[in-house]
Structure 1
Amino acid sequence: MHLLLTALTCVAIVTDSLSYKESGAAIEAYRQSIEQGGKQTVLMLDRWGHPDSLRAQLYDLYLNHNLEGAILIGNVPIAMIRDAQHLTSAFKMDQTSDWKESSVASDRFYDDFDLRFDYIKADEDKPGYHYYTLRADSPHAISCDIYSSRIVVPDISGADRFALLTAYLEKVVRLRAQNEVIDQVLLFAGNGYNSDSMRARMDEAWALRQQFAGLGTLPGFRFDFINYDFDEVIRPRFMAAMSDPDLDVAILHHHGSEDAQHLGASKVNGIQSAFDYLKSFLRGRLRRSKDSTATKAEYIAEYGITDSWFKGAFDPEITRQDSAYSASMDLSVEDMAGYTPQAKFVMFDACYNGSFYYHDYIGGRYLFQEGNTVVARGNTVNSLQDIWPDEMIGLLQGGVCVGNWAKMNMTLELHLLGDATFAFANTSGAPCLDKDIRLQAANPVFWRQQLASTTGDYKSLAMRMLYRNSAIFSTELLAIQQSDSSPLVRLEAFTLNKKIADANLKPAVLNALHDDYELLQRMGALTVNLLGDEDLLEPVMAIYFDPTTTVRVNFHLREVFEQVPYASFEAAAMAYRAKSPLWPTEENFQALLKSLQYSRDSRDQNLAVIAKPDATDKELRWVIPAQRNKQNAQMADVLLTFLRDTSRKTEQRVTTAETLGWYMFSFRKADIVAACRDI
């Protein structure tokens, strides 16, 4: 351990022996740069090859040496977590599938010491993968004690991985010495993200200007925005903007995979482009069809088109052109040659972009390209769109390192890549709280004092730390949500009240539904659906039928209508329609009724399947686990009956109990808990 008189917190640098042998000088220089920033370091060569041993070492450092974070460089064992999908934002997969795909690669194993796991086995094909099950007696919420980050070089054809690692660490050391200031931020919105809601984009830009002081108000400060539909092919503009040497932070919302950012979509702009798009679509359908003759006949009969619309479907040159055009909608690892991303911190708000356990992954490519990107945040599996990725991000302008900021809001799949100790200069005008996040973590008196801050993200941090110390309660949080002038503070208060989930959640939801900040209203809409309370039907309907309500908010409010009996919904909808004949249009209103009738019929079919004494495993596998997503209150009684039925297979009852466990916000929660305790 290297000790500095001014250093009060500690960072562990963990690496494998081969990485240290080949890039040891660069690792030592990186270590020294952290110490020059006022933090102790501990170098740990992983000689165990097992996550349990490393976790024990990190926990000891946490208890005895004020460990604040761990940087995992190279071939460090990967914990593949099972039976914990409720700790992800969206990932739900049948765990009988391939374990590599149905487990979640997660460093919460290393940075949340309260979580409890049982070891299962190492993977036969990939011995660096270690499978764990989350224990039933573990906490079932994530609250990271430290931060962690991965520095894993992707497999790039023709490149020396250790030369890339050395070059990356040298880049980090150089940029750390420059004391970078956040004065240029880029926000990108990709195709289909948050239902392409422009109000969501507008409000995020508005909030970011509050979080990063100076954006849009001071000379020399820039806030830039790119929407995917600025161009037919957005990739060139996107890459050019990301290559601006002055760019500091890039917040990227889009869909993704482990090896690509899905940025754009085919754009129809005029009659000719509409024809071109439809012909390309039909050619693609024909190529994918098992019976191209039958498929062509079906389209001709249904749409009255001619054979000429399919011309060239199997022509090699036209196939190549179609494929190239489709690929141009994405930025993939194959497109990285010559690309020099400059944002020091990149947020990949997308599925799978942070999949460091794949042999090649787009998040890693950003780090190891030439350019100035040194730290990123991304997901190892799919992720939910309706989250708050920018929560407290203004702390970065206050000198808080990326790791200490990010650990406040982690899911099982969310990870930092690169140098999590990287910090921008403190230009906030307020004291830097970077060390206090670790050293004052258990001091509610200190955080109660910070609650007086007039800066939204500082006040939000104080609320979060008070919550972690059980020193702020739902009544106070509700009062803050109802009265604070900052939308960021109001959203943080609501977020924490949702974690507490007591009797004050319902009024908090109603308040959120009427908030002018789109993201807070959207979070309220998402949560009111999970409550499933019929008492909320009328206020929900008033907001749903308001012509100014955004498309993404209504996406969630539409699901609330499925939580109540169709007759109750229809009566309320018809009464509202009588008072408001202008909106929605009659066509849209009838379409809504029809879709809810379909949902009712589908639900009734599912209820009948569950009630069948001879329902097969296959039937039940489709019907019961689906409620992990839906959490439909009308399904609760039949699920509880099934759970109590001792004539059912034990495995089926266990699946039912697990599914009911997802009803954590439902007004039926007390009934579910009582039933589980009785069996």
Structure 2
Amino acid sequence: MRYRLLIILLAAFTLALQAKNTSNGFAIVIDSASYRQAENEVKRYAESIEADGLKTYLIIDRWFHPDSIKQELKRLYHVKKNPIEGAVLIGDIPIVMVRDAQHLTSAFKMNQKRDWQQSSIASDRFYDDFDLSFDFLRQDSLKPLFFYYSLRPDSKQTIRSDIYTARIKPLEKGKKDKYAQLRDYLTKVVDIKTNEKNNLIDNLSVARGYGYNSESKVAWSGEQLALKEQFPTLFNPGSYVKFMDFDSYWPIKPYWMNEILRPDLDIMLFHHHGSNDRQYVNGYKSGSDVNTSIENIKIYLRSKVSSAVKRGKDKEETISYYANLLDVPRAWCEEAFDPVLMEKDSVMNASLEITVDEIIAISPNARFVMFDACYNGSFYEDEYIAGAYLFNDGKTVVTQANTVNTIQDKWPDEFLGLLDHGLRIGQWGKYTHFLETHILGDPTFRFAKNATDDFDINDALTTHRNDNRFWRKALASPYVDIQAMALQMLYENNDPGISDLLKKSYFESPDMIVRLQSLMLLSRLNNDTFVEVLAAASTDSYELTKRYAFDFIGKNGSEDLLPAVAHAILNDNTSKRVNFKISSAYRMLNLDKLETELLNQSEDLPLYAREMLDNTLKSIRSANQSKKSDILSISDKSISASKRTSEISRFRNHPASDEADILLSVLADRTDDPELRTAVAEALGWYNYSYRKGYIIEQLQQLVSAEPNETVLSEIKKSMNRLSGQ
């Protein structure tokens, strides 16, 4: 069936603004019902975009199928005059639920046998990355807005979006109906873009919730230093920067709520855990005094006991169980049924999180809000946190958030300093997103340029996108994020000297941001230079660079990097998150040789207390024993296929280079369970940082011609493309 779209070029607006000399376009995609309800507001919104130098195209979706929309966006991207640089999807535009592409997310790894609504990823990469190819599976019978697609094996297996996209999707359960929300929101956007054209970024706040990044103070301080590099004038007199850690005050929620109400707040960065309808702010009150400790235990017991009884457990048995388990007075458990304490606990629990309803009840004013949290951007739900900030009476006009869970150990502030140069938020998001990451709200929104140079970042990323000579010159910029973007573009344009340039940039740059960018791009090349820089990055002054270094060291698996691991264990164990990355790498390293290296380095090292080293050696030996035992189960056909498959799935998080041969041998055994072999083929696709990547690709190529099972063959081809960087 062929799907069609009604395209309306907003010629009146274009003709009225010819003096702007626009070179790029922007697409507004909207469903017909929303357009009928908000036609005037949409036209004024389009005028505001044209006033900022972009020609607008209006696409009214009357046929309701993702393929049709993507086809038209692709056509508009390739037109000779005014090609689009981005698009916004307004209202009830089909939501693509992606399957078989978990490697394109930061953390999502769910068994796809589970309910499709839960095990698929809502993603607009379908619309903005034209090199990603999908097979249409079906439309959801209960939620007709959902369309399920599978990433094809012959598709590109990495994200490199051609345009930027954003969603403007009102809440189904807002304080007004969704069309009133849409009208009010578009009116707000136009007003702010009209009245705040000269608004510089001079007010930025950062908030960190409990449990984020293991509550590492080293990681927290590292981000503050990095932001000073990215926003140098923001730390000058006359500007206002605030960092609010969760344990600065208990509960911190009122302070966060007051902060987002500030009329002059430009950017709010949230780092915390979350769900579609909640921001998790605090845990129980921390403290070393006896009374706080006892009270926390009581709160814990009241929660556990009452929850168990609500699920049908016997009241007396439950009380006895927890009293004996923790060796506490029985009376502490019986408090679970005290009406006064139940009410007190309810109030206390409400103080630990921010809900959708609470945001709807106030007026958030931060113009841009970033949610570095799971599920806060779940626009496919009836209500979602990021939407509550947008569809409100406040001044928040754009957010970035995630549709599913997201990893903590990522670079959330990457390229953020470019917003200080007037970069459109959509363009920023285009270079920072995973499959689950989305801009919600107006992607054309930007702050006034707060730099003295004549560098036009929006023009650079469109008109000069493929101009390596231009980007080589940009490396001389005094601004770290422009240097970082120059490296990014030279990498994307396959500059012939990119590897040497990245090495030079890492070893010679005094800037943390430039060094981290060099490491991140070298990780995609995965060559000898990458290993050389990895060893140096393990002692970098920027905590996030070290964190990434040890993540890459484990996944690379080269024995040349073991001295760096041993050195860090002995000399750099104050960052909880770096320590976590090192311990997580154990299953991917040669632990016999690591232990030898550790003992050699510690032999002449003066240690005040050897206890820390001894505990580490115990952990290494325990991990080594477990690893050797577990690996044998993979090829043991006397063990059930489900248990073997479960063990194989570990390699997605821990792709141990030295154990790739065992996986390859199971994959090559065509008498083995096909579903298990498919899981093996998929697991091998996670070896993209391995020093044995080339060898694995060669082995997979040899298996392709003789593989009779289409499902297994499809997964082998997909993994080959992933490892090849396709």
Contact map agreement 1:426 1:432 (CA 8 A) in 2: no
Q: Distance in 1 between matches of 2:657 and 2:346?
A: 45
Q: Which has the higher mean CA deviation after the structures are superposed, 508-517 or 320-329?
A: 320-329
Q: Which has the higher mean CA deviation after the structures are superposed, 360-369 or 315-324?
A: 315-324
Which letter maps to 2:300? F
Match of 2:348? 325
1:337 is displaced (CA, Å) by 4.5
Match of 2:242? 224
Contact map agreement 2:214 2:577 (CA 8 A) in 1: yes
Match of 1:19? 34
1:317-341 alpha-carbon deviations (Å, 9 max, x no partner): 4233323322321111132253221
Query: Is 1:156–2:170 an aligned residue pair?
Result: no
Aligned length, in residue pairs: 677
Q: Which has the higher mean CA deviation after the structures are superposed, 241-250 or 590-599?
A: 590-599
1:505-531 alpha-carbon deviations (Å, 9 max, x no partner): 101211211211111121111111111
Contact map agreement 1:143 1:410 (CA 8 A) in 2: no
1:416-431, aligned counterparts within 5 Å?
416-430=439-453, 431=455
1:286 is displaced (CA, Å) by 1.7
Contact map agreement 2:174 2:383 (CA 8 A) in 1: no
Query: Is 1:83–2:107 an aligned residue pair?
Result: no
Match of 2:484? 460
Match of 2:211? 192
1:591 is displaced (CA, Å) by 3.4
Q: Distance in 1 between matches of 2:116 and 2:65?
A: 18
Q: Distance in 2 between matches of 1:446 and 1:559?
A: 41
From 513, 522, 529, the equivalent of 1:504 is 529
1:577 is displaced (CA, Å) by 4.0
Q: Distance in 2 between matches of 1:545 and 1:189?
A: 29
Query: Is 1:652–2:670 an aligned residue pair?
Result: no
Q: Report the 3-state secondary structure (helix = DSSP H, G, I; strand = E; otherwise coil) of the residue aligned with 2:29.
A: strand
Q: Distance in 1 between matches of 2:63 and 2:200?
A: 40
Query: Is 1:534–2:559 an aligned residue pair?
Result: yes
Which letter maps to 2:521? L
Q: Distance in 2 between matches of 1:22 and 1:335?
A: 27
Q: Which has the higher mean CA deviation after the structures are superposed, 144-153 or 632-641?
A: 632-641
1:37 is displaced (CA, Å) by 1.0
1:436-483 alpha-carbon deviations (Å, 9 max, x no partner): 311221222222221221211111111111111111521211111110
Identity, % of aligned positions: 38
1:210 is displaced (CA, Å) by 2.0
Query: Is 1:273–2:273 an aligned residue pair?
Result: no
Match of 2:25? 10
1:512-531, aligned counterparts within 5 Å?
512-531=537-556
Which letter maps to 1:225? F
Match of 1:339? 362
Q: Distance in 2 between matches of 1:401 and 1:514?
A: 35
1:87-106, aligned counterparts within 5 Å?
87-106=104-123
Which letter maps to 1:194? N
1:176-197 alpha-carbon deviations (Å, 9 max, x no partner): 1121211010011111111111
Which letter maps to 1:130? F
Match of 1:621? 645
Q: Which has the higher mean CA deviation after the structures are superposed, 557-566 or 650-659?
A: 557-566
From 416, 427, 430, the equivalent of 1:404 is 427
Contact map agreement 2:554 2:589 (CA 8 A) in 1: no
From 190, 201, 210, the equivalent of 2:229 is 210
Query: Is 1:46–2:61 an aligned residue pair?
Result: yes
Match of 2:268? 250
Q: Distance in 2 between matches of 1:494 and 1:205?
A: 20
Contact map agreement 1:392 1:460 (CA 8 A) in 2: yes
**Root-mean-square deviation (CA), in Å?**
1.8
1:84 is displaced (CA, Å) by 0.5
Q: Distance in 2 between matches of 1:653 and 1:46?
A: 42
Query: Is 1:260–2:278 an aligned residue pair?
Result: yes
Contact map agreement 2:322 2:333 (CA 8 A) in 1: no
Query: Is 1:564–2:606 an aligned residue pair?
Result: no
Q: Distance in 2 between matches of 1:347 and 1:158?
A: 23
Q: Report the 3-state secondary structure (helix = DSSP H, G, I; strand = E; otherwise coil) of the residue aligned with 1:638.
A: helix
Q: Distance in 2 between matches of 1:564 and 1:513?
A: 16
Contact map agreement 1:16 1:73 (CA 8 A) in 2: yes
- Structure 1 pair 327–637 and aligned structure 2 pair: CA distance change class (3 A): farther
Which letter maps to 2:302? R
Query: Is 1:365–2:388 an aligned residue pair?
Result: yes
From 217, 234, 238, the equivalent of 2:256 is 238
Q: Distance in 2 between matches of 1:402 and 1:78?
A: 22
Q: Report the 3-state secondary structure (helix = DSSP H, G, I; strand = E; otherwise coil) of the residue aligned with 2:653.
A: helix
Q: Distance in 2 between matches of 1:212 and 1:158?
A: 37
From 688, 694, 697, the equivalent of 1:673 is 697
Contact map agreement 2:89 2:166 (CA 8 A) in 1: yes
Contact map agreement 2:253 2:281 (CA 8 A) in 1: yes
Q: Distance in 2 between matches of 1:493 and 1:292?
A: 59
1:337-384 alpha-carbon deviations (Å, 9 max, x no partner): 532211101010111111111110001000012211000000111111
Match of 1:393? 416
Contact map agreement 1:395 1:457 (CA 8 A) in 2: yes
1:593 is displaced (CA, Å) by 3.2
- Structure 1 pair 331–17 and aligned structure 2 pair: CA distance change class (3 A): same
1:32-64 alpha-carbon deviations (Å, 9 max, x no partner): 111111110001101120010000000000000
Match of 2:131? 114
Q: Report the 3-state secondary structure (helix = DSSP H, G, I; strand = E; otherwise coil) of the residue aligned with 1:420.
A: coil
Contact map agreement 2:633 2:639 (CA 8 A) in 1: yes
Contact map agreement 2:319 2:334 (CA 8 A) in 1: no
1:304-323, aligned counterparts within 5 Å?
304-323=327-346
Contact map agreement 1:66 1:438 (CA 8 A) in 2: no
From 478, 481, 495, the equivalent of 2:520 is 495
Query: Is 1:136–2:148 an aligned residue pair?
Result: no
Contact map agreement 1:561 1:569 (CA 8 A) in 2: no
- Structure 1 pair 575–258 and aligned structure 2 pair: CA distance change class (3 A): same
Q: What TM-score does the superposition give when structure 2 sets the normalisation length? A: 0.90
Q: Report the 3-state secondary structure (helix = DSSP H, G, I; strand = E; otherwise coil) of the residue aligned with 1:12.
A: strand
Q: Distance in 2 between matches of 1:286 and 1:43?
A: 57
Which letter maps to 1:633? S
1:279-304 alpha-carbon deviations (Å, 9 max, x no partner): 11112222233455455444444543
Q: Distance in 2 between matches of 1:291 and 1:600?
A: 43
Q: Report the 3-state secondary structure (helix = DSSP H, G, I; strand = E; otherwise coil) of the residue aligned with 2:440.
A: strand
Query: Is 1:379–2:417 an aligned residue pair?
Result: no
Contact map agreement 1:90 1:383 (CA 8 A) in 2: yes
Q: Distance in 2 between matches of 1:490 and 1:550?
A: 20
- Structure 1 pair 25–101 and aligned structure 2 pair: CA distance change class (3 A): same
Contact map agreement 1:345 1:373 (CA 8 A) in 2: yes
Q: What TM-score does the superposition give when structure 1 sets the normalisation length? A: 0.96
Contact map agreement 1:66 1:439 (CA 8 A) in 2: no
1:549 is displaced (CA, Å) by 4.2
- Structure 1 pair 203–268 and aligned structure 2 pair: CA distance change class (3 A): closer
Q: Distance in 2 between matches of 1:338 and 1:151?
A: 20
Q: Distance in 2 between matches of 1:281 and 1:436?
A: 55
1:587 is displaced (CA, Å) by 4.2
1:158 is displaced (CA, Å) by 4.9
- Structure 1 pair 665–547 and aligned structure 2 pair: CA distance change class (3 A): closer
Mark the runs of 5 or more structure 2 residues left unpaired by the alignment.
1-8, 704-726
Q: Report the 3-state secondary structure (helix = DSSP H, G, I; strand = E; otherwise coil) of the residue aligned with 1:313.
A: helix
Q: Report the 3-state secondary structure (helix = DSSP H, G, I; strand = E; otherwise coil) of the residue aligned with 1:365.
A: helix
Contact map agreement 1:104 1:381 (CA 8 A) in 2: yes
Which letter maps to 1:231? Y
Contact map agreement 1:544 1:558 (CA 8 A) in 2: no
1:131 is displaced (CA, Å) by 0.8
1:661 is displaced (CA, Å) by 0.9
Q: Which has the higher mean CA deviation after the structures are superposed, 513-522 or 598-607?
A: 598-607
Q: Report the 3-state secondary structure (helix = DSSP H, G, I; strand = E; otherwise coil) of the residue aligned with 1:540.
A: helix
